A = this chain, B = another copy of it.
Amino acid sequence: MGSKASAPGKAILFGEHAVVYGKPAIALAIDKRATITIKESHRDYTRIKSDDLDLEAILSPETGLKLKKGEMGILNYILKALEFYHDSTPINIKLKISIPIGAGLGSSAAVTVATIAALDNYHKRKSTLPSIARRAHRVELEVQGAASPLDTSISTHGGLIYLDKEKIEQIKGDLKDSLVIGYTRSEETAKMVKLVKERMERHPQIMNLIMDAIAHITRKARKALKSDDKECLGELMNINQGLLDAIGVNSKSLSEMIYTSREAGALGSKITGAGGGGSIIAYSHPDRTGQILESLTARGYNAMKANPSTRGVLIQ
């Protein structure tokens, strides 16, 4: 008896941070996934293992959790999902993951969604996508204290989505072979959200104008995606980037990645996610992504091509 499920990571194209202030955002699922495999265990404990993360932990009803290798991080999400959606039967859990961890690319949401879907399947529970998304959000809330439903929703449903006041809508856009992501492992979402909030309190008039400008950008980007106006889309990313710098979530290395991408031919490039570290996303004609990738790695940054993924969570 076994079960296997996978779910994608995400990248925010427009509107991060502004979404906290009621403005719209655009995000997409990317073709980097977390895959959870569950097998029956003949031992008297549950084992959780990930070669990709160099992680191994043992969970026993008697002795509790024992971390044998690696860091807690992503493990917290698996443990919370087990607590909520599994009984105490010993199982073997394997995690494969190609989403960079802690880079604002939705790794924890993907792991959570995949774990819940694999557990549902293991227990032969009938489930729906909205139910998986809702429960994954609950797990993220429990682990993090606060969490947007955006990450778990995209990871569950896949595709390119437009989020406006918690209404999530699939939209059109051709981003195939057009994206490069540069990343570090130091995104600090909570800290960045707090910094922006404090700047908002000190300078409400200025910050509200900036948030309104971001909202306009996101709405216009939706149209540019629909009409495949690549130049416009790139320019809107660049303007959004300046506004992210203005609200205080840019950093020296993010800025270097952003300008490196543009010099290598990106039509647009910006922070994706909370910033302050984390990741950037560059958008270009398909024939320039190789050059952008090379320029970023030549400067010592982690980078990868990314494709949109229409597939959300999959039972395999």
Contact = CB atoms under 8 A, between A and B. Distances in A.
Q: In the assembly, how many copies of this chain are there?
A: 2
Given A242-B242, A260-B252, A206 B210 contact: no
Please name the 6 residue pairs, one residue from A and one from B, whose CB atoms are nearest each other, closest first: A242-B246, A242-B245, A252-B259, A209-B213, A255-B255, A206-B216
A35 interface: no
Interface string A226-245: 00000010011011111111
Contact of A199 (B235, B255, B259): B235
Contact of A235 (B202, B213, B240, B255): B202
B246 A251 contact: no
A223 to B, nearest CB: 12
5 contacts: A199-B235, A199-B239, A206-B216, A241-B245, A255-B255
Interface in A233-288: 235-236, 238-248, 250-252, 255-256, 259-260, 263
A51 interface: no
Given A213-B213, A242-B246, A242-B247, A232 B263 contact: no
Contacts of A250: 242
A220 interface: yes
Interface of A: 199, 202-203, 205-206, 209-210, 212-213, 216-217, 220, 232, 235-236, 238-248, 250-252, 255-256, 259-260, 263
Contacts of A235: 199, 202-203
Contacts of A216: 205-206, 209
Scoring A243, A246, A247, A256 by chain B CB atoms within 10 A of each residue's CB, the highest score goes to A246
Contacts of A212: 209
Contact of A246 (B246, B248, B255): B246
Nearest to A244: B242
A260 B253 CA distance: 11
Contact of A239 (B206, B213, B232, B239): B206
A252 to B, nearest CB: 4
Contact of A243 (B242, B255, B259): B242
A145 B259 CA distance: 32
A157 B248 CA distance: 35
A250 B236 CA distance: 15
Contacts of A256: 252, 255-256
Nearest to A212: B209
